[in-house]
Amino acid sequence: MITTIRVEGAEFRAYHGCYDLEKKVGNRFVVDVCIEAEIGDAAERDDVTSTVNYLTVYELIREEMAITSNIVENVALRIADRIKASWNDILRVEVRVTKLAPPLGGKVARVSATIIR
């Protein structure tokens, strides 16, 4: 059985960006993940050990968000690769990292990058 599992709206304060001030002061980020996985009969058996564990996904995201990067594309790629490497049954993972109120010299609500693996 192919199942779509989502972790949406995970918010973090992190220090990603090209400017020194961003790396010093930080900014708010939101991470959304969509995972397609072949979980067999885990749903019928009600077996968390046979599917993608949401808590583990969140912890992987948190760990990667703690590593400073110049661009959100790099953060999204690292998160996608960590998730994909953690479960053999993942067919596809999509990760969007959004920076809220980016310092672009004007009013911009958010910028984001999406990586699909």
Point out the residues that are catalytic. 99
Residue 108 has what DSSP assignment? -
**Residue 44: strand, helix, or coil:** helix
Do 95 and 79 form a contact (C-beta atoms < 8 A)? yes
In angstroms and rounded to an integer, the radius of gyration of the C-alpha atoms of the chain is: 16
